[in-house]
């Protein structure tokens, strides 16, 4: 491994039956092969247990175009060439990666890790 970036984020719904969401982009210090993962690391049940949600996904990334046949600017959405939103993204030549977090009836912490490597094989991820 050549290095990594870690981003810890907290999000709260603030009241019962309220949903809150936020989007973030991690800009990498240089173009690199990377494995990125995002996950929920803690949840506080603040407003009961009805309709409790803590959710996170990568929504897109920008690369130098070296992960063919995928485009240099990817948006993860159902029906796109890049596929659906996901919790893991593996790309060569990554420049940035974006993710969304959502909560309902709770407060949660989320962690995004980006690991740098000399080269990666993205497979179907």
Strand order in the sheet with 53-63: 3-12, 107-117, 19-44, 88-104, 53-63, 73-75
High-pLDDT (> 70) share of the chain, %: 98
CATH T-level topology, domain 3-117? Immunoglobulin-like (2.60.40)
* pLDDT tens digit sequence for 79-115: 888 889 999 999 999 999 999 999 999 999 999 999 9
pTM exceeds 0.85 for this model: yes
């Amino acid at each position: 491994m050549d290095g990594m970036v870690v981003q810890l984020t907290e999000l709260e719904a603030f009241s019962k039956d309220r949903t809150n969401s936020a989007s973030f982009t991690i800009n990498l210090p240089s173009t690199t092969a990377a494995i990125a993962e995002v996950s929920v690391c803690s949840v506080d049940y603040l407003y009961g247990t009805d309709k409790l949600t803590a959710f996170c996904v990568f929504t897109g990334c920008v690369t130098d175009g070296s992960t063919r046949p995928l485009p240099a600017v990817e948006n993860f959405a159902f029906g796109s060439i890049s596929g659906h939103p996901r919790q893991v993204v593996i790309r060569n030549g990554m420049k940035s990666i974006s993710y969304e977090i959502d909560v309902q009836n709770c407060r949660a912490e989320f962690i995004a890790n980006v690991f740098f490597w000399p080269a990666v094989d993205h497979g179907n991820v």
